[in-house]
Each structure stands twice: as C-alpha cells, then as structure tokens.
Structure 1
C-alpha cells in the first residue's frame, strides 16, 4: 500500500490495541504502542531510500528482504526495544506483540497489490502479488480517516476500528469475488489461457489484466465484468545467443528480469549500437507501457549504456540514456 495508508493503518492498530485489557488499563503502554504501531506500519518500506542509489538496486530490493519472514521478526524486536529504551515504564511483551502485528499487517496487505512482495524469503524468492487491491485504494483510506474522526469525537477507538476492519475484511472478500468473476470471463473470451496477471486501478470497477497464452500476450481492461482487449503481442522465447546473454548481464536488465513476471522483448539494430528492450506489460497507461529496461550494446556485445525504470515517452527515455 501507499505510505499514507500505512500511516493510518498504524493509527488504527493503536486504537484496536486498547481492547487488550492490559493496554487499555495502562496509559503509558498504550501511548508507547501507538508510536510503535505507526512506526511498525512504515518500517518495511525503509528500502524506498534505495531509490537514491539507482533504480536497479531499488527494483531488485524493494519489498524483498525488508518484507521477509526474518525481517518481520527483526523489525518488531528493533522497534520494541528502541521505544522501550525511551519509555521503560511500558510493558515490553504487549509493546512487542502489537508492534509485531503492525509489521506483519504491512507485509500482508502488500501481497494484495499488483506489485507484491517477496514475503516468503528466505524459503522462496517468488513474488506474491495477488493483484486484488490498488496500491492506493480510496475506500480503504477513507474508512481509516472516518475511524480517526470518530475517535477524535470521543467514541471508543478499539470498537470503532474493530468495526471498520470487519467492514474492510468484507471489502477484500468482495474484491476477491470480483477477481474470480474476471478470471471466468477471460477463459470464456480467450482460449488456452496459461496465466492472468492483475493490476487493479484506483477505480473500483476497472482492472488492467495481462493474459498469457501459449503463443500470445493479451493486455486488456476488465470493466464491470466485461473484457476489452487493448493490445495483443506475439509471445516469443528469449533468443539463446551471445547478444542476449550479454544484455542479461547488465545490472539494469538483470534487475528488471528479477522482478517483472510478464514482459515482451525487442531487439533493434542501429549504426553504432544494438538496442535490447524489455517492456513490462502490467503497467499500461494512456496507450503507453512506462516500465522498461533498455540496454545498448556495441557490435562486440559490450554494454554502452542502459536504463530501467518508469518513463512516459520515448523522449524522456532518450534523455535517461543520454542520447539527447
């Protein structure tokens, strides 16, 4: 989820924690938990700072180890002992328990996005991305804001947010049923479907989907159960040659391939270089696919320049590659 949603979720958990009999009767522990749940709801996304290094490092590591099973435990312990150091009167066990819940919930809800996480590390590097909820879902965010306002008015925060979370649980179930309906419609419209990748939009009834068949990729909108095919690409295996092997060794291409589950590739020859381009098909925006990885090699398969990241025009890509 986005940063704002994670913040309000931390506040909500701090409110729900007051239902814990010990926390509800111990003001200092309750205040410490409010701090810890907000911090715990943000901690796994500390890897966002990797953007300051470069896109390749960020793409390879974002929502990786920081969202893994060991990280959930380590984050909860680090935050708990840090807060307890400054607020030693707080109950260590209850502080740790609610911090752990906050960190776990952050990772858990991220699984429902199209981006996903590597939450099963170190047991698996597989990306878990259910594609059920947009990274920013207005309904989820607004429900949290409503809960905070009700709390400020003077109502009990525990029962208020518990009720809201029961509503949000039902909302997730509805979204999952919508997804199942789309899957059924896709199989009715397209033959021999091997995989469907979902990227829900901010609009409740609109989804971007990519369908993989034996020979083709279909990019489509699913709107109120109707499947509207937007693009169709031939599915070609990566060539087994020196050029492609050299390109795959580039750090930008390697990062892209480690993350993207469904993409198309192109090779274009120019006078001074050969361009190898990979395009992630999940992120179609205004007839453009902004998430790419591009590598330029000379005719001896030596890398000249490369880039990976989000761009929204060929002109901006050329700037990134220092071609203009």
Structure 2
C-alpha cells in the first residue's frame, strides 16, 4: 500500500492497542507502543531509499528482504529494544507484541497489491502478488479515515477499530469475487489464453487486463464483467544477435525482466546505436505503455546508456537515457 494508507493503518492499530490494559493504564507503555506501531507500520518500506541509487536496484529489491519472514521477526525486536531503552518503564513484551502486529499487517496487506512482496523469503524467492487491492484504494483508505475520525470524536476505539476490520474483511471478499468474475469474462473474450493478468485500479469496477495466447498478447480494460481490448501484439521470439545479448546483460534490463512477467520487445536504430526496448504490457495508460526498459548498444557491443522505470513521453525517455547511469 502507499505510505498514507500505512500511516492510517498504524493509527487504527493504535486504537486496538488500547484494549491492552498494560497499554491503557501505563503512559510509558502507551507512548512506546504507539511509537512502535507507527514505526512498525512504515519500516518495511525503508528500502524505498534504494531509489536514490537507481531504478534497477530499487526494482530488484523493493518489497524483497525488508518484507521477508526474517525481517518481520527482526524489525519488531529492534524497534522494541530501542523504544524500551528510550522510554523508561515501558513494558517490553507489550511494546514488542503490538509492534510485531503492525509490521506483520504492513507486509500482509502488501501481498494483495499487484506489485506484491517476497513475503515467503527465504523459503521462496517468488513474488506473492494477489492483485485485488490497488496500491492506493480510496475505499480502503476512506474506511480508515472514517474510523479514526469517529475515535477522535469520542467513540470506543476497540469497538470502532474492530468494526473497521470486520468491514474491511468483507470488502476484501467482495474484491476477490469481482476479480474472479473479471477473469471468467477474460477467458470468454480471449479463448485459449494461457496467461491472464488482472490488476486493480483506484476505481472499484475498473481493472487492467492483459492476456497471452500461444500466438498473441492482448491488452485491455475491464469494467465489471465487460472487457474492452485495446491492443493485440504478435508473440515473436527476440532476435538472436550480439547486440540483443549485450543489452540483456545490462542491470536495468535484468531488473525489468525479473519484475515483469508480461512484456513485448522492440529493436531499432537510434543514430549509430542499437536500441533494445522492453515494454511492460500490464500498465497501459491513455494509449501509452509507461513502464519500460531501454538499452543503447554501440558498435563495440557496449551498453552506452540504459534506463528502466516509468516514463510517459518519448521526450522524457530520451532525457533519462542521456543522463541515466549504466549500473
């Protein structure tokens, strides 16, 4: 989820924490628990700083080790030790338990996005991405805001937040049902589909759709169970050439391939350079495919510049390529 939603969830969990008498009756423990919950609600996304290095490193690592099983166990321990040192008298076990819940819920809700996490690491390197809730879901966020406002206006926090999460549970069930209906419709619209990708958007009934058959890629949108296909691309093997091989060894293209399960390629010349472009088909927006990886290879089979990331115009892509680092 986005940072704002994780913060809202941290506040809601703080309301639940007041059901713990050790928290409700001890100001020191309460302060440490509230701090632990808020830090725990955000700490798994600390790997966002990898963007400062480059997009390739960020793509390969975001929601990876920081969302893994060892991290879910380690973050609460480290945070709780630090907080009980800072806040004299705070009860460690209670600080740890509520911080652990905050970290666990952060990682748990992230697996329901289309981006997903490596939540099963180190047991599996697979990205777990269920894809029923958008990274920012207005209904999910709005329900939290309503509950938090109700709490601040004087309602019982335990009853309020318990009701919130019961409602959200049924909301998730509804999202699963809608996605399942969309998938059935895609199968009817694209007979013989071997792979189907369905991603939520911020609008409840609208979904991104991409499907693959033995010969074609299809890209479209779903509104409820109504499927509209916008593009169709022939599936063709990538050319076996020294330039393509050199481009695919570039870190930016490697990161893209590790992240994107559904893409097409294009090969062209830009001046004296050989351009290899990989285009993710999952995120079509206003007729454009903004998530790409591009490498330029010279006559000596050296990648002179490359880039991977979100670009919404060719002009911006050219600027990025001109200044983008090669590592």
Return the alpha-carbon distance in structure 2 between the equivalents of residues 163 and 39 of structure 1. 24
Q: Report the CA distance between 1:34 and its aligned residue.
A: 1.2
Displacement of 1:65: 0.8
* Partner SS for 2:18: helix
- CA drift of 1:270 comes to 4.1
Corresponding residue number in structure 2 for 1:280: 280
1:68–1:118: 8 Å Cα contact kept in structure 2? yes
Relative to structure 2, which stretch is displaced further, 233-242 or 55-64? 233-242
CA-atom RMSD in angstroms: 1.4
- Residue 71 of structure 1 deviates from its aligned partner by 0.9
Output the CA distance in 2 between the equivalents of 1:150 and 1:28.
Answer: 25
| Per-residue Cα deviation, 1:98-122 (whole angstroms, up to 9, x for no partner) | 1111111111111111111111111
Q: What is the rounded CA distance, in whole Å, between the counterparts of 1:19 and 1:213 in structure 2?
A: 53
What is the aligned partner in structure 2 of residue 247 from structure 1?
A: 247
- Measured in 1, the distance between the counterparts of 2:81 and 2:274 equals 54
TM-score by length of 1: 0.96
Q: Provide the residue aligned with 1:67 in structure 2.
A: 67
Unaligned runs of 5+ in 2: none
TM norm structure 2: 0.95
Residues 153-176 of structure 1 show CA distances to partners (whole Å, capped at 9, x for unaligned) of: 111111111101100110011000
Residue aligning to 2:190: 190
Partner of 1:305: 305
Give the conservation status (yes or no) of the 8 Å contact 2:77–2:96: yes
Q: Which 5+ residue runs of structure 1 have no aligned equivalent?
A: none
- The Cα of 1:47 is off from its aligned counterpart by 0.9
Say whether residues 1:202 and 2:211 are aligned partners.
Answer: no
* C-alpha displacement of 1:259: 1.0
- Tell me by how many angstroms 1:301 deviates: 1.8
**Deviation sequence 1:147-200 (CA, Å, 0-9, x none):** 111111111111111101100110011000001101111111111121211221
Distance 1:46 1:260 in 2: 22
| Secondary structure at the counterpart of residue 194 of structure 2 | strand
- The corresponding residue for 2:218 is 218
Q: Distance in 1 between matches of 2:11 and 2:40?
A: 11
Displaced runs of 4 or more, over 4 A: none
Mapping for residues 155-166 of structure 1, pairs under 5 Å: 155-166=155-166
Asked if the contact 2:183/2:198 (under 8 Å) is kept, the reply is no
Number of the residue aligned with 2:314:
314
- SS of 2:229's partner is strand
Please say if residues 55 and 309 of structure 2, whose CA atoms lie closer than 8 Å, have aligned partners that are also in contact. yes
- Contact kept? 2:28, 2:88, Cα under 8 Å: no
Q: In 2, are the aligned partners of 1:130 and 1:198 still within 8 Å (CA)?
A: no
Counterpart check, 1:125 vs 2:152: no
Q: Deviation per CA, 1:223-249: give whole Å up to 9, x if none.
A: 021011111111223344432221111
Alignment of 1:1-324 (within 5 A): 1-322=1-322
Q: CA offset at residue 271 of structure 1? A: 4.2
Q: Distance in 1 between matches of 2:305 and 2:122?
A: 33
Asked if 1 retains the 8 angstrom alpha-carbon contact of 2:277 and 2:292, the reply is yes
